[in-house]
Structure 1
Amino acid sequence: MAAFYHRHHHQHHVNQHHLHPPSTDLRRLFHRLTIASSLSILCFSLVYLLTGGCESELTENSEIKPPARDVLVRGAVWPQEENGTDALGINHPALEINSSGKEWTAARRLPQALIIGVKKGGTRALLEFLRLHPDIRALGSEPHFFDRHYARGLDWYRSMMPKALDGQIVMEKTPRYFVTVDTPARVHAMSQDVKLIVVVRDPVTRAISDYTQIISKTPDIPSFESLAFKNRTTGQIDSLWSPLWIGLYAQHMERWLAWFPRSQIHLVNGERLISDPAGELGKVQDFLGLQKIVTDKHFYFNKTKGFPCLKKPEGSSKPHCLGKTKGRTHVSIDPEVIQKLRDFYKPHNQRFYQLAGQNFGWH
């Protein structure tokens, strides 16, 4: 009986051992569960970050680009993404953390600066040169908001802009703005503080350049001479013909000065933009309140094209010149016609020099 009791007690002890493991086993089991769950969370986080990161990167770089045809016609593409690494190889991510650990988030904002004119003055060159600056975020294509698409509203216009961090200047260029009657009031309604840039060039050579571009697209148009005059015999100029009308800078400038102070309009000398690009860019950077980062080390003069090009920037395989549509050989114009145009523009130029506060020396 004693033996049976001892055996039964031993069996009961063994069963109890299996039903209620000691506290050490419990701790070990809990430790394993903790490690397993931690690994699961870590794996899930990694998968989420990888997939989410790719998605946000894709979203960041999917800016509105000009259509392929636009790119070919204008030679408008600079080898950089609208967001991402710029021409100097400086990255502009959507999210930055500064030294204090504060987050800076990129956002689409309305532009603080506009290149408003003039057509065939050097606006594309100026925009591409400015895009070298890490604190400038510029739209590559011409949105034509204030002259053609105003009815779409400011939200649409904002959606066209590249994302920018605090402190970066958002800008776009549409040369038609300078000569469009309604544009100054519309720009003023968006912002009274916007900075305006106009690239001006001798109005006679500008008109010939304009006509050269027109004839390259529509070769069967009449001669420059027949379009420039209302009456060739009397020598009466047709000042409403677009290539000549655009060159009436004083007339257009007065419209802008009715809405903006002279201090908010910066005039770039189109001739000097070719002969001394770094000097003109220095003045523009001052006007925009930016550190002078774009300097003469960024340029070289291309004798074939007859204007400055950009030296090889970081992240690009070759030096960058504007496209084939820039630097065309001008059509040949009768010297007598050119002299009549110079005489026609002389009083307009003098008036413009007064408004500008500088003499551009166009003869």
Structure 2
Amino acid sequence: MMRDLMPSTLEGQITMEKTPSYFVTNHAPKRIHTMARDIKLIIVVRNPVTRAISDYTQTLSKKPEINTFEVLAFKNRTLGLIDASWSALRIGIYALHLESWMQYFPLSQMHFVSGERLIVDPAGEMGKVQDFLGLKRIVTDKHFYFNKTKGFPCLKKPEDSSTPRCLGKSKGRTHPKIDPDVIRRLHKFYKPFNMMFYQMTGQNFEWELEEDSGSRSSQD
């Protein structure tokens, strides 16, 4: 049981655990509900097109011999048939996965973090997380600085001079250049699922604005 692997929680403490695959694993909602039905769930999401390219970039770094993104993304490129069974693309169909979780947990126990806003305003997003968890807003903007080399904010402790904690070398890799037509087709593919996700969560993540201005992200 996952509970057995967690450290003991003392009074006044909150135990947290993260695993990216939980959200897209079919049996996870039921198992977690059985373990702790009053648990609070934090889900970080980002533009599914950028997320898919980031996923591919990570895989490419380990398996440089794999097919190109364009080849993997389509069942039939000529007909424009997207291969939604490819995990890099399927993960981004957030509405599908959220539907499974909503069978066991109410939205009041879920908090959705915008991956885009987490980069440009980490303190703001962390403030919302602390509110959701019922914690005092201790982590503020003074705890972050932006690392221009990585393209991500880093966490620091203002009260001491310890080295800031930044994302590891597996993050911030330059994305391969993807055919703009493929990007447009993927935005079109995801749009109805995104709209459904916005409606389900009551939040507009504004990913369509990124589509209008083109794919702006070059790092994972």
TM-score by length of 1: 0.56
Is 1:285–2:136 an aligned residue pair?
Answer: no
Following TM superposition, where does structure 1 have runs of at least 4 consecutive aligned residues deviating by more than 4 angstroms?
Answer: 312-316
- Give, in angstroms, the shift of residue 161 of structure 1: 1.7
User: Is the alpha carbon distance of 1:285 and 1:231 closer, same or farther for their aligned partners in structure 2, counting shifts above 3 Å?
Assistant: same
Name the residue aligned to 1:348. Answer: 193
SS in structure 1 opposite 2:17? strand
- Give, in angstroms, the shift of residue 164 of structure 1: 3.3
Name the residue aligned to 1:303. Answer: 148
Is 1:191–2:36 an aligned residue pair?
Answer: yes
Distance 1:211 1:225 in 2: 11
Task: Within 5 Å, give how 1:32-111 maps onto structure 2.
Answer: none
Gaps of 5+ in 1: 1-153
- Give, in angstroms, the shift of residue 316 of structure 1: 6.3
Distance 1:229 1:273 in 2: 30
Q: Is the 8 A contact 2:73 2:89 kept in 1?
A: yes
Is 1:254–2:99 an aligned residue pair?
Answer: yes
Is 1:175–2:175 an aligned residue pair?
Answer: no
Query: Relative contact order (C-alpha < 8 Å, sep 6+): which is higher?
Result: 2
Q: For residue 58 of structure 2, what is the amino acid of its counterpart?
A: Q
Distance 2:101 2:37 in 1: 12
SS in structure 1 opposite 2:178? coil
Distance 2:130 2:46 in 1: 20
Name the residue aligned to 1:46. Answer: none
Name the residue aligned to 1:320. Answer: 165
Q: For residue 221 of structure 1, what is the amino acid of its counterpart?
A: I
Q: Report the count of equivalent residues.
A: 208
Q: For residue 204 of structure 2, what is the amino acid of its counterpart?
A: N
Q: Is the 8 A contact 1:313 1:319 kept in 2?
A: no
TM-score by length of 2: 0.91
Alignment RMSD = 1.3
Q: For residue 64 of structure 2, what is the amino acid of its counterpart?
A: P
Gaps of 5+ in 2: 209-220
Q: Is the 8 A contact 2:156 2:162 kept in 1?
A: no
Which structure has the greater CA radius of gyration? 1
Q: Is the 8 A contact 1:312 1:320 kept in 2?
A: no
Is 1:269–2:126 an aligned residue pair?
Answer: no
SS in structure 2 opposite 1:198? strand
Q: For residue 343 of structure 1, what is the amino acid of its counterpart?
A: K
Q: Is the 8 A contact 2:123 2:141 kept in 1?
A: yes
Distance 1:357 1:330 in 2: 31
